[in-house]
Structure 1
């Protein structure tokens, strides 16, 4: 009993100190920086020395955790060792990344849309950050032994570890029975910075559950977080391999980082769920980064109101975004009201033509997929694949029927810069199973705006030819619109 009271007292003291660290500095400076030492026994790499500081103050060295990524060479999958580091800040910080394995010939920080240009001095890259970012730091073009640097916002809530509704994991490595932690309703799991869980976090048939923190689930644990048949769930701030949602409602996944390296390593699946929000997530995966499916894996029904925003996707295999293949052929499902907003796609690498497409809707199993918006999507030069793929098909490996329809899909402010894109495909199945009402607003490919009235387009060309899109049979009403031009003309008319 005395030992238990002592442990509780130590937890209370640690909690108070943490709050003082988080709030006390705010009284003296608006800028804040929090770093977390690696726990004893953590698996680290020595490829990089990573330091961070507030301007003019002392440097703080970050732990470099080992993670694995999937490198496909020809048709073979190979595990490569990469690095992951993280910290929290508010204001402005300077970052220094020293490469320890040779000479730095070049360096870059991605997503490229952030326009972070590192300065190179010898073997060290330096740059500034003025807001939270999830980044890839790459030396000499090496994307398989890179640094994944997660610069988090300051936590706005840390639960009291002695609260009976809190399951608290402080800094250190934590084991639990059968490598499975089942979270009951009404509980908050807190994984502190510097904590590593050696098992899955499972939220099943529960409601009002939170999983928070800055720590991680070990990179070797498949399906680090699973949400099944649950309601009102928040997962925020942690690192894991995968985070799947099935048969659930009102789920928010925020600032979760997912990196996987094994077969079928999908990052953030959604099955037969409604009202799911992904915000500021980072997915680098050995299969699809994010999917929306209907009936599948014991979950039944369609999907409604799924949003992913302000996020970064990197598919070492398969699709960054995949929608629609799985459903119930006997009792058809509808997948509807999906939004993908303000997203950077860093890569796709897929040799199989059936599984290409950075933005893919493949309707199978008598599914109807409708009312989908892709807006403000920036696609970097991926290694192999297609920019988009919209098809109704009967993939006999996974489906028992073709899809029923793909309808009302809008691509707005899509930018692709690169040379490796294969021919994109838009294709229906038959006269009863069509792709229809597809609108491209302000599509830019290598800086060129593609529209039906673009200058220099031969009258006998389809606009899709200039985008390198194949628009096949059983497709209706595909439009390419330049709203920037229309807005400019409307302004001139009003003046």
Structure 2
């Protein structure tokens, strides 16, 4: 035992210079393990920074070795891909520098995909860009239209939680490991730790007592790992290192193709987690037994046919992974597979989701939240497309695949083949499949087919729910005329588009979002701060509109210099405070937001990142199926590297001159529950005025008092406004008794009532949230509920008593009033 102790001390001293470098929430990995098999990138340098700490990353590169395997591979024969990895627990600023010019056309903007991550890029020079990543994930940096042909991938992993110590009991640590040494491991060891150096092991078949195989960050293991029988049940391959397959050769010879992490059908409960499987020789992961887990795995640089991605059979869960594939990325061959949160880059061969190569019985498969960055199929083919079923061999009697769900999938770039389900060689039945919230881009020559084998073996009960091509939701008609869908031997193929939501032109914009039902219309302007430009019941408008600003769009530089005048900003505006410390919020209030239709009468909009405020905002509008009910959900995310404090602040402008009512419930922010502020900024308690009526439960403003601004310290969430054109608005919002409300004259709710504001009569109805102090990457949420009803405005409003107003508005009963 003493000898083992000395050996461990010696090993620790040997590998110490190669260990990962960690500072707080950032971990980077040692360089020095590149070689001819896995070289450093010719094109990119990458630096990551948190606070005052910055580090350079090792950037690896793979050049295509697949051009000779098939003519279909010619489009990628001269490509390369570079990548770097690190782990993060807080936002990281990334700087990418080109070492030399990229081949091809790299003109145009620099993008970081997936777009749903909303990464904003700043170009520091012709060769240098920077951006901030706010959460772990897999990202593609693409410089110009053809930059992806020699692209850069960034693998930002979460911080590791379970790292075996190299000197711990039962841990076999080697630097380097050899196949002879691994095959000779005694039963005293349950864990093998590959230290951060280069290892050449070829094909290794671990013995059953080795349950944990850890690849430390920076380790490059040249070889493959195979689990052959039940003795390997429960094995785990994990870490932040590389398992690389280039040593096995190239070309189309099957003798050079080995699956990188493989488990036979007799082996179950295998976990593969966190590692990079680079330049795979054949499949990256192939687990043919049950109950497997594949998470945070990345597979860059597989150029050959048969470079399938992540394969796990019955009851397998795959999540948070990046799949680069030149054959089937994910095979959906067995029951109860759950696939979630993937990023896929597909080359020229295979399907992103392959359903069946031979006939099989399968049910209960769910695929959600997938970004397909590229699908480089050059033309039509039997086993190509995002969704593919080859069905070329019969195993026994006719088989059935059923109960599949594909949801929230985005294909970022134009593709040639989308849906390609055609088991035309064998009788095979497919039924009960839903495609929901899927977006793809394609040209006029796109291929789509759903073709059953025969009238006895059909494809039936397929629902396309909010599937969009080039932004347009496909209907039964446009699926044929625009997307070229071919249907044969099918029944009950339905295309459904969200009801009550569409893009329209109006108010000077070509891309308004309209939500509507049989009585209510809502118009949202993505190009103007995602504000409401209309909220109308039976064509009667609530909001104060401003025709002079229709079509207005922010030009940040001109606004800052004074060349562009700030708009009046009518309608349903929404803000963030507080304005005392952060007066410049133009990008958030006036700037363009990105819309996404989510479902019936439901849209989400996302702002750009505002470096002045350190925030990105998200807003959702959802209109009820019947009636005027509108739910508005707000969220803010701190995407800066520093702590930020902010609150939500609604500021819709209703048509002025109406009757305002606020429900009262005593708070503790200021005495009396209500304060007023004059134009000089002086704050005072509520004075007596004939246009202000008050009881214990309500305050009413029915005409212009000698001041304009009210602040309410009320714990009641309700507020109401009766417009001169005959609408009664009802609103509610969360109120927090112990919330940190920071606006001294506004409290928990504010009203701006002015019948002569810049020549307009307005009432600004202003619910406020507490202030939220957000650490980097933290978020906060808030919501409001709005409703309208028709209510003729009284001609004698100025003479009505408090109880008469409350009774006519339905806030108190006649009996109670009496």
CA deviations over 1:448-485 (Å, ceiling 9, x no partner): 22346xxxxxxxxx352255142422100011123453
- Tell me the CA shift for residue 138 of structure 1: 1.9
Asked if residue 226 in structure 1 is aligned to residue 262 in structure 2, the reply is: yes
2:9 is paired with a residue of what secondary structure?
Answer: helix
Tell me the SS of whatever aligns to 1:232.
coil
Matched with 2:325 is: 285
Maintained 8 Å contact 1:312/1:345: yes
Asked if structure 2 preserves the Cα contact closer than 8 Å seen for 1:69 and 1:285, the reply is no
Matched, 1:61 2:56: yes
| Residue in structure 2 matched with residue 35 of structure 1 by the alignment | 28
Cα deviation for residue 262 of structure 1 reads 1.9
Change (3 A) 1:41 1:374: closer
Contact 1:174–1:198 (Cα < 8 Å) also in 2: yes
Matched residue of 2:303: which SS?
A: coil
- Confirm or deny that 1:389 pairs with 2:420: yes
Instruction: Work out the CA distance in 1 between the residues paired with 2:21 and 2:305.
Output: 42
> TM-score when scaled to structure 2?
0.52
**Which one has more relative contact order, counting CA pairs under 8 Å at least 6 apart?**
1
The answer to whether 1:481 aligns with 2:496 is yes
- Is the 8 Å Cα contact of residues 117 and 127 (structure 1) preserved in structure 2? yes
Where does residue 446 of structure 2 map in the other structure? Answer: 422
Please list every run of 5 or more consecutive structure 2 residues that lacks an aligned counterpart in the other structure: 171-188, 248-257, 501-598, 602-622, 630-818
Contact 1:33 1:90 in 2 (8 A): yes
CA distance in 2, matches of 1:68, 1:336: 39
> What SS is found at the alignment partner of 2:473?
strand
Q: 2:118 aligns with which of 115, 120, 145?
A: 115
Aligned residues: 453
Confirm or deny: 8 A CA contact 2:416 2:443 kept in the other structure.
Answer: no
CA–CA separation in structure 1 for the residues paired with 2:314 and 2:78: 35
Deviation of the 1:203 alpha carbon: 1.9
* Contact 1:109–1:136 (8 Å) recurs in 2: yes
Give the corresponding residue for 1:139: 143
- Kept in 2, the 8 Å contact 1:67–1:219? The answer is no
**1:309 to 1:63, Cα distance in 2 relative to 1, 3 A:** same
Q: Distance in 1 between matches of 2:71 and 2:285?
A: 29
Is 1:200 aligned with 2:230?
no
Question: For the residues of structure 2 that align with 1:155 and 1:17, how far apart are their CA atoms?
Answer: 20
Could you tell me whether the CA contact under 8 Å between 1:71 and 1:79 is conserved in 2? Answer: no
2:154 pairs with 1:149: yes
Looking at structure 2, the residues matched to 348 and 21 of structure 1 have their Cα atoms a distance apart, in angstroms, of 36
Which runs of no fewer than 5 residues in structure 1 stay unpaired? 27-31, 294-302, 328-332, 395-401, 453-461
Report the CA distance between 1:417 and its aligned residue: 3.1
Q: What displacement does 1:82 show? A: 2.4
Per-residue deviation, residues 158-187 of structure 1 (Å, max 9, x unmatched): 1233322111111101123x4324252561
Residues 272 and 295 in structure 2, CA contact (< 8 A), matched pair in contact too = yes
* 8 Å CA contact retained: 2:203, 2:226: no
**Counterpart residue number, 1:336:** 363
The separation in 2 between residues aligned to 1:237 and 1:403, in whole angstroms, is 40
Conserved 8 A contact 1:208-1:232 = yes
Q: TM-score, normalised by structure 1?
A: 0.84
Asked if the contact 1:438–1:478 (Cα under 8 Å) also holds between the matched residues in 2, the reply is: yes
- Equivalent in the alignment of 1:268: 310
Q: What is aligned with 2:294?
A: 253
Q: Is the CA contact 2:20–2:30 (under 8 Å) kept in the aligned structure 1? A: no
In the other structure, the counterpart of 1:492 is: 626
Q: Which residue of 1 aligns with 2:688?
A: none
8 Å CA contact retained: 1:442, 1:484:
no
Q: Distance in 2 between matches of 1:388 and 1:147?
A: 29
Shift in Å at residue 247 of structure 1? Answer: 3.1
For 1:16 and 1:40, the matched residues in 2 are separated by 15
Distance 1:158 1:91, change over 3 A: same
Q: 1:7 Cα shift?
A: 3.0
Q: Alignment partner for residue 386 of structure 2, among 325, 348, 358? A: 358
Contact 1:334 1:369 in 2 (8 A): yes
Aligned to 1:95: 94
What is the aligned-residue RMSD (CA, Å)?
A: 2.9
Contact 2:196 2:217 in 1 (8 A): yes
* 1:239 correspondence with 2:276: yes
